[in-house]
A and B are shown apart, each in its own frame.
Chain A
Amino acid sequence: MYGPPPAPPATPAVPAVPVAPVTPPLRLSPKVLLTDPIRMLPSLILPLAGVLFIGGFSPGSFLWAAFGIAGSVIYSAIRWATFTYQVVGDRLELTRALISRSVRTIPLERIRGVDVSTPPLHRLLDIAVLRIDTGAGGNDKQEGELDGVTAAEAERLKAVLLWHARARAGVPAGSGPGAAGAAGTVRGAAEAGTAPGAGEPAVTHYGTRGAGTPAPDRVFISVPRRWLVYGPLSGAYLLTPFALVAGAVGAAFQWGGELGLGERILWSAGEWLWDHPLLLAAAFALLLLAMPVIGVVMYAVFNWDFTLRSREGYLVAERGLLTRRSVSLERRRVRGFELVEGLVERRAGMARTWAIVTGLGDSQTRGQLLPVVPLPAALEVAGEAVGRIAADLRRHPAAARRRRLFRAISPWLVAAAGGLVAAVTEGSGFWWALVAAALLLAALGVPLGLDRYRSLGHAYDGSRLSVRSGSLRRSQAVVERRAVVGWTLSQTWFQRRAGLLTVTAGVGAGTGGYAAVDVGAAAGVDFVAEVTPDWLAPFVDGGTPA
């Protein structure tokens, strides 16, 4: 994983950091005494109901139930009273002293971002949940969560944490590979308040940004509400109606007994429905009709008023109707963006955008830069916020088209041939139907293969490279040159026959690698040599051996 910079210098002079007021240990807002028990309620209902039932609703049973509720409130209160957090020098300490005393220490320089979200109940009480992302890669235990700080405190803490994180990490955006390994030096310099020659530009840059003149927020886009109707084009939330029905049926079985509905009644209800196919079909049609509507509603709930803005070195994306979610991505860790278009979205000229960020866990939800928006807007915003590529995609040779077609068609033709053999020997209608289906899919493979070929492309404009592929889900990645940590060129036997090559740029962010599929063999090597000439030059045929 992403280790810390090599040998962080020992920091003997912790208090020397200019703006690091040692705050006293702080508690969460007392309002969590309200939210915590309410959140625990669902898990308490069953035991409570059980106690009441067993006790036959006698006064004694009510007493026990009351005990249970009181117990949970007291538990919350103790939890609240024993949990404190504090910024100490260069780290955040979360102390929990419920049974045994545990201190979780999060070095501020490891903080990659801070999420503030406000679930509905929290919003009523004007408190928020603050989550600290340390880029620990999916291991939730490594991350800190402060559930229930006041909204004002959340903002303050976020500012403090992010300010420190940035100041400590030292190297500002754009300093590039030149600042290799200088992180330690720069950090040391920043602390001591002196600037040795080598680190100077970085430090002065840091100084101007960190000197308390925060750049005003800049809003890249505030997605208009009318664009929310395009949400289901991505296919997201379309199956919600079916999921809801399935959930309802499951719940009916689980809870039916307690509501006086025997399982037998439910089964007979199901059988009755099965005996009236017309009704069943109507219900199914209704669900189908509900798909887009419910899809839009669900999508709107999650993506309401999506705004993307920049705030002091962070990209901040906010969205959501009931739970307002705000995700901060450190800009100097953003290496590029990925533009994804489904087939339907492409017809409608829509696209979704993700940021390619180093060391971001759960990047699928956190890294989202834009929801479904028109393609020009997506390109414009991603270009402004992350960086645009100034070169057009280069097409891949005709051999690539043959290969895409072959791969889209031949599996179905093979299946059809197999089915044909079986159909002739067996002569059953089932096999003939299978053959027909396989042939249909093979025919569909023609436009699919052609479209896959049209999607292929790669480009480099001097500072960013881009690759694109896919048809049903076409995705184009634009990545900074400095993010490339290696290359893999691969060639299957078929590709070798066709004189093609797949070039994968290894990137320590996002999915880890972005591939230009089926480039011409020479063009592929040229592409690598163009992006990173010094790495490849000694190895290209005709080049001078090192």
Chain B
Amino acid sequence: MAGQANGPAARPGDVPLRDPAHPVSRKAIALWLLEGMFWTVVLTLGSYAVSGWIAGARWSWLPGWVPDNIALLPWLVGIVLVGLSVAESFWRYATHRWELTQDVVYARSGWISRDWVFVPVSRIQTVDKAQGWFERMLGLATVEIRTASHAGSSTIKGLDYGVAAELADRLARRAEELRDDAT
């Protein structure tokens, strides 16, 4: 995994945390691709509208070459976004991982920037299992783990439905056993 060297070879700037044990479902790549494509289409259409507007308006304060080449804008936006969403999908699959030990949920997410979240099971207040539109299509689910604080809450996306259901169930049962009201 890029930049996530284990063992003594770690560079001083690396975060000395090991990878969580489980990757998310492979189908999550398709999920992120679908989501990326959706936004690519929306933004490309948007930039097409904007470029038409700018070409038509011919504002005096714009340098002359801008309206002349504005027709390229939607192409540029489309190509960049397609590239980004492909990169994002695979990069996210490499980054997103999760693990549940007896007492703690450990999850990593992100792509360009990353988050590591640690949620002790004893402080969990609710465990939700959610399915978006694309997720239902792919048979995936998201597990949302909430504590009394947003900074102590975690969302694990792109799990196989069965895995998510089992995780949510285990968490809910374990949380009941360990529940701690100190918050």
Contacts and interface: CB of A to CB of B under 8 A. Distances in A.
A491 B153 contact: no
B115 A489 contact: yes
B179 A180 contact: yes
A513 B152 CA distance: 8
Chain B interface category by residue count: 35 or more
B153 A540 contact: no
Interface of A: 2-3, 5-6, 171, 176-177, 179-181, 183, 358, 425-426, 482-493, 495-501, 504-509, 512-513, 515, 521-522, 524-525, 528, 532, 534-536, 538-543, 545-546
Given A488-B117, A540-B18, A506 B106 contact: no
A501 B15 contact: yes
A482 B181 CA distance: 10
Contact of A506 (B21, B63, B103, B147): B147
B103 A534 contact: yes
A6 B125 CA distance: 11
Most chain A CB inside 10 Å of its own CB: which residue of B12, B115, B152 = B152
Interface in B68-112: 99, 101-104, 106, 110, 112
B73 to A, nearest CB: 19
Contacts of B169: none
Nearest to B100: A546
A509 B150 CA distance: 11
Contacts of A6: 176, 179
Contacts of A179: 181-182
Nearest to A514: B151
Given A171-B181, A180-B182, 18 more contacts: A177-B182, A180-B180, A180-B181, A181-B180, A181-B181, A183-B181, A425-B63, A486-B117, A486-B147, A488-B118, A490-B115, A500-B13, A505-B151, A506-B153, A513-B150, A535-B104, A545-B21, A546-B101
B118 A483 contact: no
Contacts of B6: 541
23 contacts: A179-B181, A358-B148, A425-B63, A484-B152, A486-B117, A486-B119, A487-B118, A488-B117, A490-B113, A490-B115, A490-B116, A492-B112, A499-B13, A499-B14, A505-B151, A507-B148, A507-B152, A508-B147, A512-B149, A532-B120, A535-B120, A541-B6, A541-B16
A422 to B, nearest CB: 9
Contact of B152 (A489, A491, A492, A506): A506
B44 interface: no
B118 A536 contact: yes
Given A425-B63, A504-B151, A535-B104, A488 B113 contact: no
B10 interface: yes
A513 B149 CA distance: 7
Contacts of A488: 115-118, 151-152
B114 interface: yes
Contacts of B12: 499, 521-522
Contacts of B148: 2, 358, 485, 506-509, 512
Interface in B144-183: 147-154, 176, 178-183
Nearest to B175: A6
A490 B13 contact: no
